Amino acid sequence: MEGHKSLLRSSVAGLDFGASVVSKASARTPRTSSALVESSGARCGIAPGQVQLGDSLKSSKYDEGDIERTSATDDNETPGISQKMLIGLYCNYALIGLINGCLAHTIAKPICLYVFDGVANDKVTYAQCNMGASLLQMPWSFKIFYAFLVDRVKVFGTRRYWWIVGGWFVALCMLAVVAASVGGMADAQDFSSYMFLAMGMCVFYMFADVAADGLTVELSRLEPPESRGYILTTGQMVRFGSTGFVLMLNALLTNGPQMYPPSMTSSTLFSWGLNISQLHWLLLILAAPLFVTMAMCLQDAPPSDEHVGGVKEGLSNMWMTLQSKAMLMMVIFSVGFIAIAGLGNAASSSISSIVVPSPLLLSTSGLLGQMLFILGVWIFRRFFMTTNWRFTCCWTSMLQQFETVFTMAIIYDFAGIGQSGAFYCFGDCIMNIVFGIAQVVSSLATIEIARPGLEATTYETLVTIHNCALAFNTNIANTFLPLFNLNDITNESYHNALEHDLAKRDMYNTDLRNCTLVTAALQLGGTLLFMWFLPANKDMCAKWKGDVRFHKSSIAAICFAIAVFVFLYSTSLSFMTMFPATACLKIAGGEGC
């Protein structure tokens, strides 16, 4: 289903450690979601522009004795890196996978559409459900600014420790608030309040995630060349393993009537299960031991003499990063390919409301899809790393057009099984392999186009644009809701027409079909247009990067203008869908005020 693709792209917004980086880790900055920390480079000591808080606790988490204790006293340990500190670091990624992974996979279905009655498209709308994952993860769009702050401000004398532990402490406190209040919000169908609380929680664990990514970069520099990248890839394995674990729990524990529209039933529903409040309490209970272990084991990396630089220097580096043909082309590619070639189908919420698969099927297919996605990433690393990047980008995008065929089978209830929950959830799971192959292509170019010393700034800038473009994608799709009369197609209206007015049912199917075909046409056109902004290989990257005609401020200004437009448009439209006074606007997916 089209929603699977959007969900995967959203849930990996921040999948910042690519397979392609591991092979280059000894020569280039590893790809992390807060890679800006590496462009700054400092480990300990205060550089110009750096702020130190809590000076009296300066040696509380790492001192010279720690360095001695983490020296090569164990043959299995790298000097400066202890197993204890790695356990603490991996606990951070387990928390990210647990909480962010769970909510990103469930916020649209079943939370918004089922628990908050989005299937009725009344008080809670399709547009709001479509925007759920994008709003939850909107702080990912600010990661370059998080990194800029985290790199330059010490908290209680530590470079990373208190950003990570403190960020998670506040985030888990907010999770407790959400757990205590979400039941009342669901009864009142107040999805906006729930969404803003969840997004606020993400704001704080982003501090932890960015700092942890910076720590990962620092520790990766200490690894022997033959095993460099092990810490980096292990952290991501822990993250996705944690998400898989919580999805299995969801499949078993949230498959009851409390997490399904109250007026409906399903043959795959259990007679028991957690409600929405208990689901959030479960996340908090699972997170607590991970948080305690992290707080006890985590340590900063050994001190380094590398220079962070002040605010002025950091801003200057960011501006310099934008001054190249390679960067201009990649900015256009990132926005165009994600927002147009990867445009989500606005009909997906209506189709979900027609089928209403059970939480068991949703969670199981989400787990399977994620496993196949990771397989796709491995296939790319194994077989397509050196092939023409444009060609790979094109053929994977073309294969994704089979989603259109699959969607048509659901709309017209192919063979009487098209509108079954099992077909909806598992019929296109194999496509996740293709999505995985496509996921890493542009990252190869990102590694190659960076100027020496600005690798991290380059990558982090494109990560920020990438995440803004994901929200931009959903904003564009939401404008199709009133255009194709999709807000009229609810579970109740569709099945009433199916039983009493087949002509109206056919009209609904026509609207769903037309939206799907227009989306597919835009995806195809976007692919054929924007693929040319992606360099074909490393040699073309070098040629674009070295083109001195583009090494000027006007090019940086164009890149900056595109990024600002996408950010302001996507952010404002995303918030407009959440407020009743503006949710009715057609540009926000409403029927008009």
- The predicted-structure confidence for 385-424, as pLDDT tens digits, reads as follows 778 889 988 999 888 888 999 999 999 999 999 999 999 9
126 by Cβ neighbours in 10 Å (0-12 / 13-18 / 19+) ranks as: buried
Query: Is pLDDT of 11 > 70?
Result: no
Bridge partner residues of 51 (DSSP) = 153
CA dist 121 and 129 (Å) reads 9
Lowest mean pLDDT among 33-47, 86-100, 162-176, 252-266: 33-47
CA dist 341 and 441 (Å) reads 14
Q: What is the largest CA-CA distance in the chain?
A: 79
Amino acid in the structure at residue 138: M
- Is there a contact between 378 and 288 (Cβ–Cβ < 8 Å)? no
- Is there a contact between 437 and 396 (Cβ–Cβ < 8 Å)? yes
pLDDT tier at 521 (50, 70, 90 boundaries)? very high
Three-class SS state of 154: strand
Residue written as tokens 């808080």? 53
Q: What is the pLDDT of residue 221?
A: 73
Q: Which CATH number fits domain 2-40+81-588: 3.30.1490.20, 1.20.1250.20, 1.10.3720.10, 1.10.260.40?
A: 1.20.1250.20
CA dist 73 and 82 (Å) reads 10
Lowest mean pLDDT among 9-23, 301-315, 470-484: 9-23
- Is there a contact between 440 and 373 (Cβ–Cβ < 8 Å)? no
- Is there a contact between 333 and 533 (Cβ–Cβ < 8 Å)? yes
Predicted TM-score (pTM) above 0.85: no
Q: What is the pLDDT of residue 36?
A: 26
- The predicted-structure confidence for 337-374, as pLDDT tens digits, reads as follows 999 999 999 999 899 999 999 999 998 998 898 889 88
Of residues 7 and 537, the one with the higher pLDDT is: 537
- The predicted-structure confidence for 182-200, as pLDDT tens digits, reads as follows 999 999 999 999 999 999 9
Three-class SS state of 277: helix
- The predicted-structure confidence for 123-135, as pLDDT tens digits, reads as follows 888 998 988 888 8
Q: 317-320 long-range CB contacts below 8 Å, 24 or more apart?
A: 317/39, 317/453, 317/454, 317/457, 318/144, 318/457, 318/461, 319/553, 319/556, 320/451, 320/454, 320/556
- The predicted-structure confidence for 438-482, as pLDDT tens digits, reads as follows 877 776 776 677 665 555 567 677 878 888 898 899 999 999 999
Nearest in space to 180 (alpha carbons), one of 80, 268, 95, 281: 281
Q: What is the pLDDT of residue 167?
A: 95
- The predicted-structure confidence for 299-308, as pLDDT tens digits, reads as follows 988 876 555 5
Q: What is the pLDDT of residue 191?
A: 93
Q: What is the pLDDT of residue 510?
A: 96
Bridge partner residues of 155 (DSSP) = 158
Of residues 214 and 174, the one with the higher pLDDT is: 174
Percent of the chain with pLDDT over 70: 82
Dihedral, 227, 229, 234, 239 alpha carbons, nearest 10: 180
- Is there a contact between 359 and 250 (Cβ–Cβ < 8 Å)? yes
Q: What is the pLDDT of residue 493?
A: 92
- Is there a contact between 375 and 431 (Cβ–Cβ < 8 Å)? no
Query: Is pLDDT of 489 > 50?
Result: yes
- Is there a contact between 583 and 577 (Cβ–Cβ < 8 Å)? yes
- The predicted-structure confidence for 556-568, as pLDDT tens digits, reads as follows 999 999 999 998 9
- State the average pLDDT for the chain: 81
CA dist 40 and 304 (Å) reads 12
CA dist 277 and 424 (Å) reads 27
Q: What is the mean pLDDT of residues 39-55?
A: 30
The kind and range of the H/E element at 99 are none
CA dist 412 and 397 (Å) reads 24
Query: Is pLDDT of 228 > 80?
Result: no
